[in-house]
Structure 1
Amino acid sequence: MSAVQVSIIIPTYNRATYIGEALTSIINQTYIHWECLVIDDGSTDNTKTVVSAYQDKDDRIRYTTRPDSYPKGSNGSRNYGLSLAQGQYIAFCDDDDYWLHDKLEKQIPIFQQHPEVGLVTGNIEYVNSDGLRTGRVIKQTGNHGYVFEEILLKNRLSMITPVVKREVFDKVGLFNTNFVIFEDWEYWRRVAYYYPFYALQDVLACVRKHDSNTSLIVTQKPSEQFVRYRKLTKALLKWGEHRFTKADIMLIDEVEIKRYLQIMQNHCPNMKDKISFIGHISINNITLGLKLFSSFIKSKL
């Protein structure tokens, strides 16, 4: 096995159909100093058989199952993978997506050129269920520099694109296993508090759109968007309890109100819907509801 610089973690569950393409894209990387840890979350299909065939071809691939001491779900598997990882950089690939062959070759040198950055990311392109590229590119070039405020408002990174310094996890902590939706957004917010990001303008990875995408369970109902965002804010404030300054907390509060105003603008087409949304928030948190109402009046939405 070559010297490990990058540990690639793939959490998987019943993805025998797609995981081979993910592993092929990793084996084909032009940067060769990696290990790939496939963490199975309890698959009942032949995922293990598929992965074992790739493991036989390349001893840099390791297959293991998530132990019961780690919670179920992708974040539990990622955290277990981190406990096994030997690399000084960490990367993630979802089991139904794949990387372009020069992804790591483009990202790793950035850390030597800019040692202050915590992660290096780039753009993604959507592919269809058969893995064919669609030309629909999602640019992540806005994730450059200190982007804590920007990433509070909107998740601007995919899970499969960044390469992260190992030291980031020592400083920021592991993934929050209480999150299934927005589990990546919750983590990138914490990273952005301490570290600048570096965003390449290249497409580095492809995200597959198919009928069993986890993202399909997310609705755009304003009340549900509020619940999801409020959970993010509460988790961040808990993590930052002994880290955040008063100014940090004020910023988080301001951005949260801004997020809710955006939801109102985009998903509450009439005044009745807007007032209903404010009322829903007020029932859950009267202080937050009053702040939103005040901001709404000033905004003239």
Structure 2
Amino acid sequence: MTEKVSVVVATHKRPELLRAAVRSILAQDYRGEVECVVVFDRCEPDHQLREELVPLGPDRSLVVIGNDRTPGLAGARNAGVAASSGSLLAFCDDDDSWWPDKLAKQVGLLRAENRDLVVCGIEINYGDRTHLRVPRPADLTVDELARRRVMEAHPSTVLVTRQAFTLIGEVDEKLPGSYAEDYDWMLRAVSYASVGVVPEPLVEVLWHRGSYFAERWQMIIDALDYCVAKHPALRNSSRGLSRIYGQKAFAYAALGRRSDARRWAWRSLRLHPAERRSYLAILVSARLISAATVLHLAHNAGRGI
């Protein structure tokens, strides 16, 4: 029997992008049931969504709820999981969309290889630029995730059994601003789950100014500190810790806290002299380039800070 997949979409005031995401989920060519649970976070649920997006047959359903958990992405994801009923769980950001064969290929691999969790590649679209990112199975270890985060293992690519999700644990609602909630969850997931990879892009990830965390730099600093305190693997990885210190340095530079930016940049470079974020933080703190310009150039190259 083909298993039911519940897809959780957390959303906040992105009506057109949300509709595109939901359409791509309901239009999957997967032969089993697909339940899409849309969780409206910090805004009123749009129940008209169910009337506009008519399910494509009896094996497609759409549930619309509000976030009754901690406000933010982490709480909204957990609320969606709690309201869902499928034996398999998936997630999709409200500004992403799936290719029609995503679920069929992922469920097929999950069962063929007896995996707990399956991810796939992504196609990043930023302006007129397109970048393909596909993770390797070797990338999905605690050590490798600590070293470089592995952005290719994007939350919109995750398919996990409900049993494994319960073992891994919910998305951490204590993370400041829910920043890096996907990273924290994946660090825990690879410790408990058998992870498979469909080696091709099956998700379109849209990067745009509405998805930036700019102007929330202090929250990012607090979340990075939280992650380091929580995960020994981060504290034990010189490359990973250098990367995080570089991110903190850049955030301080964006806030205009020049001495803090330089202090954390030097701490980062002592651990790993090639950490580029630290050099960028020094340039921003010296007012030789703006943080916004650096973000734009990084996104143009399909990279983040």
**Normalised-by-shorter TM-score class:** 0.7 to 0.9
Matches for 1:165-180 after TM superposition, within 5 Å: 165-179=161-175, 180=178
**Rg comparison, structure with higher value:** 1
Q: Find out whether 1:277 has 2:277 as its counterpart.
A: no
Matches for 1:235-274 after TM superposition, within 5 Å: 235-236=230-231, 249=232, 251-255=233-237, 257-262=238-243
How far has the Cα of 1:51 moved from its partner? Answer: 4.2
**2:211 paired residue number:** 213
Q: Is contact 2:46-2:64 (8 Å) kept?
A: no
Q: Secondary structure at the match of 1:10?
A: strand
Aligned equivalents of 1:30 and 1:216: distance in 2? 37
1:199-237: per-residue Cα shift (whole Å, max 9, x none)? 222111011122211444566xxx98764432112233x
Q: Secondary structure at the match of 2:93?
A: coil
Q: What 5-or-longer segments of structure 2 have no aligned partner?
A: 251-258, 275-305
How far has the Cα of 1:5 moved from its partner? Answer: 2.0
**1:137 paired residue number:** 132
Aligned equivalents of 2:85 and 2:57: distance in 1? 17
Q: Is contact 1:7-1:85 (8 Å) kept?
A: yes
Q: Is contact 1:11-1:39 (8 Å) kept?
A: yes
Matches for 1:100-139 after TM superposition, within 5 Å: 100-115=99-114, 117-128=115-126, 134-139=129-134
Q: Find out whether 1:98 has 2:114 as its counterpart.
A: no
Aligned length: 259
**2:81 paired residue number:** 82
Q: Is contact 1:264-1:274 (8 Å) kept?
A: no
**2:64 paired residue number:** 64
Q: Is contact 2:224-2:244 (8 Å) kept?
A: no
Over 3 Å counting, the alpha-carbon distance change for 1:265 and 1:28 in structure 2 is closer
**2:5 paired residue number:** 6
1:123-175: per-residue Cα shift (whole Å, max 9, x none)? 1112357xxx843112222x447611111233222110111121122212111
Task: Note the aligned Cα RMSD (angstroms).
Answer: 3.3
Structure 1 range deviating more: 145-154 or 210-219: 210-219
Over 3 Å counting, the alpha-carbon distance change for 1:51 and 1:14 in structure 2 is farther
Aligned equivalents of 2:190 and 2:63: distance in 1? 31
Q: Is contact 1:148-1:192 (8 Å) kept?
A: yes
**Letter aligned with residue 195 of structure 1:** A
Q: Find out whether 1:229 has 2:224 as its counterpart.
A: yes
Aligned equivalents of 2:139 and 2:244: distance in 1? 27
Over 3 Å counting, the alpha-carbon distance change for 1:56 and 1:154 in structure 2 is same
**Letter aligned with residue 254 of structure 1:** N
**Letter aligned with residue 87 of structure 1:** G
**Letter aligned with residue 93 of structure 2:** D
Q: What is the TM-score normalised by the length of structure 2? A: 0.72
Aligned equivalents of 2:19 and 2:262: distance in 1? 50
How far has the Cα of 1:254 moved from its partner? Answer: 1.7
Q: Secondary structure at the match of 1:178?
A: coil
**Letter aligned with residue 203 of structure 1:** P
**2:144 paired residue number:** 150
**2:159 paired residue number:** 163
Q: Secondary structure at the match of 2:36?
A: strand
Q: What is the TM-score normalised by the length of structure 1? A: 0.73
How far has the Cα of 1:122 moved from its partner? Answer: 1.2
Q: What 5-or-longer segments of structure 1 have no aligned partner?
A: 237-248, 280-291
Aligned equivalents of 1:226 and 1:210: distance in 2? 22
**Letter aligned with residue 184 of structure 2:** E
Over 3 Å counting, the alpha-carbon distance change for 1:145 and 1:114 in structure 2 is farther
